[in-house]
Structures are given as C-alpha cells and as structure tokens.
Amino acid sequence: MNYKIKKIINKKKKYKIVCLTAYSKKIAEIVDKHADIVLVGDSLGSVLYNYNTTRKVTLEMMLEHTKSVRMGVKKSLLVIDLPYNTYRNKSEALKNSKIAIKETRCDAVKVEGGVRVQHIVRHLVQNKIPVMGHIGLTPQTIKGKFKSVGKTEREKKKLIKDAKALETSGAFAIVLECTYSDISKKISNLVKIPTIGIGSSVYCDGQVLVTDDILGLTDAKIKFVKKYVNIKKVINSAILKFKHEVKSKKYPTKKYSY
C-alpha cells in the first residue's frame, strides 16, 4: 500500500483530513502546502468549462488537468476522478484507471457509488489500484435537482450499506456528499476508513471543498460552500490599474521596456 494512503488511513479519529481540488499546476502548488489530499475532480466541468453536468467531462480532459496538477503536487496524496461512463464494468474501469495512473502519475482514483460499484472497486484494488469511494449525493448519476441525502430511514439504510460495501471492497476512504449530520456521524463511527465530508457535517474525518468556491471565483450559492475571500475583487482591481496605466501612458516605463 502506498505510504501516503497509509498516512491518510492512520489519521482516522486522530487528525482532521484536509482535501481540496486543483485543476492546474499553479493552484496545486499552493494547495499542496496545506492539504492532505489534492483532488482533480470532475467538478472542473462546471468550474472551468461551464457545463451544467459532470457527465460531459471526458477522461482526456481529466488526464490533461491531472498532468498539470501533478507538476505542482509534492507531498499530498493526488486523487483523480474517473469521469462518467469510464468505469461501467470491471475491465473498462481497470483499463482507464491504468491509463490514468500511467499518464498522470496520480496516487489513486475516485469513483461514485456504493453497492452498485463494489465489484468494480474490489477488482481495482485487487489489481493494485487505490480507490476512494463517493456516496450520498453523486453528481454523475443524480437525476433532477441536487438535494441532501439521508433524511428518511430508507436513505439512511442505503447509505450504511453503501459505506460498508466500499469498505469491504477495499476503498481507503469515502467521500460523503450532502448527507445529514446524524447519518454522517453514524457512518464515520461505523467504518474503519476515513470519511471525507462535503456538506456532511463536522462528524466526518475530513472535509473537501472546491478551491475555486472558497476563493470566491465561482458564483456557487450552495449551503455548504463558505467563501474565505473574494478573489474576483482582487483580480478586478489589478486589471483596472493596468487599464488606467495603459490609457494614461504610465505603463510601460523604461523599467518594463527593452
């Protein structure tokens, strides 16, 4: 087992795990200084390409962005999302996972689903492909409006089954997206592998958010998104200064000319 993955597993119930997304080298370099896990998420579909669904994201897109991120990640565990329709069966999942790891030198892949994909997770792990699971709200397969999961007893039982299925199949961690606090706490106490929450309460073993969201680069109006800075204002201010200096002939001076 990869020593970085062992390190993540050993943080269970001891230290909170920090996970953030990155889609390019420059952002990855900064995130890598502070995160335990850097995720190249298929969220890049909406963040970078303005898609209304992650289903439009291709494996080729994921590979190119992960190659860039790899150049900026030195210490963190690097995980790549396998996009929609790239792990429909065991052979397809293994083939695409091998491509991802060979071409990007990432440390692990992430797949969405619980019981539904347990045979795929097991197959990947048996072939030495580390897997992070993802249950609760699963953007690749959800139909209709995004909503929280785990309010009804039926949903809670399904979430528990999904979490157990991923654990027994060999996943090293599970993302819990938009699951209610009580079930997030129960699952986190039930499984021996770390849970990484996104909109799923402080009871998870770690937290993940989209870096562009916390920087205020997106217009995401989602309950669990906290914006820690409005970087758009900073960018606007810099561009405005450049514009004024160009128009007033203050730029470029001799210092910035050959």
130 CB-near residues (< 8 Å, 6+ apart): 1, 2, 5, 107, 108, 109, 172
With CA atoms as reference, report the closest residue to 53 among 140, 179, 135.
Answer: 140
As a whole number of Å, the CA-based R_g of the chain is: 20
Q: Which residues are catalytic?
A: 177
User: What 8-state DSSP symbol labels residue 48?
Assistant: T
Q: In this structure, are residues 200 and 136 in contact, taking their beta carbons and an 8 Å threshold?
A: yes
In contact, 110 and 160? CB cutoff 8 Å: no
| Tokens, residue 27 | 């952002």
